[in-house]
Structure 1
């Protein structure tokens, strides 16, 4: 584990380390969501009686658009956080930390909503499989 906090790290290094860890995690989540949505849509469209799944497919398509917007926002946010390296006062650092908290709340809300949709898709597929 080379990402552990070292004794020689100062407060700023630690904050950047946690922000960078969040960003890497979010990037991976957003990329996985794209792959999952493509998989789910293809799976549901190929099922017999795919009319049963049409609402879920619509929701997945909406979530796919939202995910693409979120990815663009994440890329913008990643570039924006480069400014944290240049901070020389607490006011500047506070700006970036508050911005991080807002972005984190936004992306975690999106991830929570996506997981609910994914759970719904799993339940619907399982329900239909049990009927056949």
Structure 2
């Protein structure tokens, strides 16, 4: 856990929090990447899971693309410390919010697919 001290500027504190959040997103997506591989392998072995195989293959590609996007974003986030006006600060805050929304949307889609797969596999009813 990162500690923040009173002598840190607001800009530095915000940037550090954003970097920590971004690190967590990337770690989560890397774990999901491994998890997806198991779902793909499982869906290949089951004859009636071709739809799930296709869906997991697509979401794996989306995950890889999103990971690349977030890693590129992490390289640019440190530029936010150099902002000298509110427009610049707002730009970086809005950009971070955009990526947060994309991350949440991706997790929802992935979790929904995973839940559908598990329900069908274990024939659970709503």
Contact 2:15–2:78 (Cα < 8 Å) also in 1: no
Match of 1:114 among 94, 110, 117: 110
Contact 2:12–2:81 (Cα < 8 Å) also in 1: no
Q: Does 1:78 align with 2:78?
A: no
The whole-number CA distance in structure 1 between the counterparts of 2:104 and 2:57 is: 19
Q: Does 1:55 align with 2:54?
A: no
Alpha-carbon distance, 1:52 to partner? 1.7
The whole-number CA distance in structure 1 between the counterparts of 2:69 and 2:80 is: 17
The 4+ residue runs of structure 1 with deviation greater than 6 A are none
The whole-number CA distance in structure 1 between the counterparts of 2:7 and 2:108 is: 36
Q: Does 1:25 align with 2:24?
A: yes
Name the count of aligned residue pairs. Answer: 124
Aligned to 2:4: 5
Which ranges in structure 2 are unaligned for 5 or more consecutive residues? none
TM-score (norm 2): 0.88
The whole-number CA distance in structure 2 between the counterparts of 1:107 and 1:56 is: 21
CA shift digits 1:18-67 (9 cap, x unpaired): 20111111101110111011111112323xxx222111111101101111
The whole-number CA distance in structure 1 between the counterparts of 2:16 and 2:78 is: 13
Alpha-carbon distance, 1:126 to partner? 1.6
The whole-number CA distance in structure 2 between the counterparts of 1:79 and 1:5 is: 22
